[in-house]
Amino acid sequence: MAVASFAALLAGAAQAATPGLSGEKASFPPFDPTHFASNLFWLAVTFGALYWLMSKVALPRLGSILEERAETIGRDLDQATQMQGKAEDMAQAYEKALGEARKNAQGIAQTAREAGAKASDAQRHATEAELAAKMAQAEATIAKTKTKAMGNVRDLGSDIAAAIVTKLTGQAPSASEASAAVDQALTRG
């Protein structure tokens, strides 16, 4: 009712403002008050149709698309969280295995060092024993050679002492006197 009275009022105003055919220019049709009622009617029909179209077709589609995207994102985030958990578990298992491998490697290295040290000690003891035997043999040979040399020195000393006394005094001492003098000099020295 209010719309009908408003339309009538507009129609009256439009007739009063309508220029005559006397040569005045007509106004722009959308601003012409005679067309206000039909413009308002079609505005309401168009608005209603667009509202119905948006509420029944476009917005439900957009809603379902947004809901589907939210579900996809949520599913992807859950899957990523699961994969991250698996990756962290795998990293922990890897670190644990790596730690065990290092421990085993250290044990093997320690065993190898100990075995090497034992072998080295055994080799060193064998070499020392061999060198000690060679040294004892060499010392015995040296002692034998020294004794033989000392015997030769005594005889040589007796001969030299006899030659010196003969040269100095002109008389040759006996071999026993020369030997006794050399023996006496060796025991002092």
Tens of pLDDT along 86-98? Answer: 999 999 999 999 9
Please give the pLDDT value at position 165.
Answer: 82
Q: Is residue 2 part of a domain?
A: no
Give residue-wise pLDDT tens across range 94-129. Answer: 999 999 999 999 999 999 999 999 999 999 999 999
User: Which residue stretches of the chain have pLDDT < 70?
Assistant: 1-24, 189
- This prediction has a pTM of 0.37
Report H helices in the chain: 2-17, 36-53, 59-169, 175-188
Q: Residue 175 is part of which domain span? A: 138-188
Integer-rounded Cα Rg, in Å, for the chain is: 67
Query: Which among 142, 139, 177 is positioned nearest to 157, based on CA atoms?
Result: 177
User: Can you read off the two tokens belonging to residue 120?
Assistant: 């080295």
Residue 160 lies in a domain: yes
Number of domains in the chain: 1
SS3 143: helix
Look at residue 51 and tell me if it is in a domain: no
Instruction: Give domain status of residue 167, yes or no.
Output: yes
What residues have CB less than 8 Å from 68, skipping those under 6 apart? Answer: none
Q: Does the CA dihedral 158-162-163-167 come out positive or negative?
A: positive
Total residues belonging to the chain: 189
Q: How many CB atoms lie within 10 A of CB 158?
A: 20
What is the pLDDT, as a whole number, of residue 181? 80
| Residue 21, pLDDT score | 47
pLDDT of residue 35: 82
